[in-house]
Structure 1
Amino acid sequence: MKMVKKLILSSIMALVLVLTIGCSNAEEKVKSNFEANLAALEMYKYDEKGIADALTEAEYKQIQTYNSKDKVSMIAQLTPLYGKENAEKIYETIVKLIQGVEKTVTVESSSKDKITLKVVSKALDTSKVMSEANNLVKSYVTDEKNYDKKEKEVQDDMAKMIIDLYNKKPTKEVTTMITYTKKDGKWQPPSNIQKLCEGIYTI
């Protein structure tokens, strides 16, 4: 569960969210840029999800550079516990989990210097996943049938357990409000944008 939050937070660090746009249809441009940034951190390709319409290739590559570094770091952390092959499977499961979060973004309000976006999402309920994971691990380690298993067997069992839990995806609907403020001709996100974006995906 910490891995899900870590992947989301590290990706959000790379968001390109300060916009220089004119007054014409500013609400839709702020909205489309925000959605494109979310799609980029979700690791969609440049020509998917409207990313190319809102971000330059350089901006997209900046986000993917962070994503690539985080992939290496996360797999390195998971490998001692689950083995390299299982670590990669868990990573890919987390990516699909993030991509699968249902959400809608609408313009809640707009003025000459403020635009507020309303994001309604079905965030992963990490507390439920953690609770179930703890119960399963306790049951596994106290089951005599598992006492004589080799390390690779245990790694495979534990990895499957984690992946199955992620795939169940217990969710809870949450609403996140994000207000951009216009300053010196640029639309700037709130200072706590990372925390707000994390709340779109996990609770």
Structure 2
Amino acid sequence: MTTELIERLRNALALPGHQSSDFDLNPNTELPVGRTLRPAGVLIGISLAGERPGVILTKRSSALKHHPGQIAFPGGKQDEGDADVTAAALREAEEEIGLPAGLPEIIGFLPAHETVTSFMVTPVLAVLRQDFEIVPEPGEVDEVFSVPLDHLLRPENYLVESRQWRGQRRYYYTVPFGPYYIWGATARMLRGLAARMEQ
């Protein structure tokens, strides 16, 4: 089962595809001319230690200035000391949830995703064959939880919703799970993975 899943993931990530963005569902958005996109990496960590493979997600602290209370992957912007976006994703995952840097087994990458906050985010997909002690970073992470991978790989579980944002109606993907409202860039990247796994 584990070997088959990893092979399916590798094959899905190897498929050709285009970058995604927060503007996929909002093609009329006017972007600032000459904007600079900052590189970032997030970790789509698939835990294989439980009965069902699950994707590890965080609920950001409600006290944060940016994206308070939102569901997100562990990860963040690439710092000067990071060799690349993979290193950034692993460093941030260790800082945010206590994930040992040597535990994730990198499987591959999804196409980069451009966010409305001017980041070019590379989703780094990895499997975790062992459990680890989860230690949420105080002040940044309110909760760490797992969503069954099979739930996230079903395209029918994704909805398109909208809200007013800066005077315009903005559309975005959501993939609700229990009490967790997963939306925006996180849901869009997961929707991309689901589409690839379906091919």
Give the alignment's TM-score, normalised by structure 1.
0.23
Tell me which structure has the larger Cα radius of gyration: 1
Give the alignment's TM-score, normalised by structure 2.
0.24
Higher strand share: 2
Higher helix share: 1
